[in-house]
Amino acid sequence: MPSSRASATISSPRVAGKRSGCPLFDERDLAEIASPDFPGERLVACRNPALAAERARKREALLQSTERQLERIAATVARNPAKYDAAAIGLAVGAVIDKHKVKKHFALDIADGRFAFRRRKDEIAAEARLDGIYVVRTSLPADKVGSEQAVAAYKSLALVERAFRTLKGVDMQVRPIYHWLSTRVKAHLFLCMLAYYVEHHMRVALAPLLFADHEPAQRERASIVRPAEPSQAAKRKITRRQSVDGTPIMAWHDLIANLGTLTINEVRLPIVERQTFHMLTRPTALQEQIYALLGVPAPRVQ
């Protein structure tokens, strides 16, 4: 279910978005369309307003930064035109234009002793019309996967990417570990996936103590295209940096480090030679709460 940003000639649009007001001035963030360039596939066009605003902001910032540098070059050439030929001006301008990759948005006039520039407003406006728009392609029929379901499935790929980062990164470090037998390779990957499975369910259970939304099912999502909004409970928790019962919330790694202080100690009595026994440290109130959220009894001192 790949995403496509390529332009296509669209025909027979099938709008799947929700209406909000007068149909004449309707604005939709999701619509199912068709194109002869993609036979046998359904195209779901999406427009993310937040992404559109961010791209517009970045483009304007790059344009303004480039203009300031081009204005300095133009002023330098104007002060001493005889000193600069077209080649020298072109080298200076090229370095500026290539820095922010906005060459297509400027019309340049370079000659011996002369340099001028202007924005290509039509090209900029044409690009701006596509801000925040992306297309999800799928070959599944509509009775199997609806438009919103197709977009949701595409967005869920972020969870897969995060899982790969967890496996390959600092959490589990699948690599570099070298095994020379195929059975050991399979066993190693199985253990890593099992560890990730356990971690996932621990994160869900311990969400009230983490910087995570612990009430995702209770939030209403107005649009699958727009970024998901955290629940009000999560916003209050993160703002106060405390859970509902006043327990300080923390990052995942800090929580695991806190559990790591629950250790088994070997105790040796001085009055009896060579006699030792093991004693478990007493769980703290936070550790008791962690085990309660996990639904397992906390280890006790023996």
236 and 167 part of one domain:
yes
Residue 223 vs residue 241, higher pLDDT: 241
106 and 143 part of one domain:
no
73 contacts 109 by C-beta, under 8 angstroms: no
Confidence of residue 301 (pLDDT cuts 50, 70, 90): low
pLDDT at 15 over 50: no
Q: pLDDT tens, 181-198?
A: 888 888 888 888 888 888
Confidence of residue 233 (pLDDT cuts 50, 70, 90): confident
Judge whether 8 lies within some domain: yes
CA 59 – CA 70 distance, rounded (Å): 16
Q: Give the three-class secondary structure for 131.
A: coil
- In this prediction, residue 181 carries a pLDDT of 87
82 and 200 part of one domain:
no
176 and 221 part of one domain:
yes
pLDDT at 6 over 70: no
Judge whether 302 lies within some domain: no
Judge whether 57 lies within some domain: yes
Judge whether 189 lies within some domain: yes
When mean pLDDT is compared across 150-164, 203-217, 222-236, the lowest value belongs to 222-236
Write down the residue that tokens 């790949």 correspond to: 2
Judge whether 73 lies within some domain: yes
pLDDT at 290 over 60: yes
- In this prediction, residue 74 carries a pLDDT of 95
- Return the ∠ at Cα 261 (arms to 256 and 262), rounded to 5°: 100
Range of the domain at 264: 252-294
44 and 75 part of one domain:
no
Number of domains in the chain: 4
Q: pLDDT tens, 62-112?
A: 999 999 999 999 999 999 999 999 999 999 999 999 898 899 999 999 999
222 and 160 part of one domain:
yes
Judge whether 246 lies within some domain: no
138 contacts 42 by C-beta, under 8 angstroms: yes
- In this prediction, residue 23 carries a pLDDT of 47
137 contacts 38 by C-beta, under 8 angstroms: yes
pTM of the model: 0.59
Confidence of residue 9 (pLDDT cuts 50, 70, 90): very low
Residue 112 vs residue 160, higher pLDDT: 112
Mean pLDDT of 30-58: 91
CA 265 – CA 274 distance, rounded (Å): 16
Judge whether 208 lies within some domain: yes
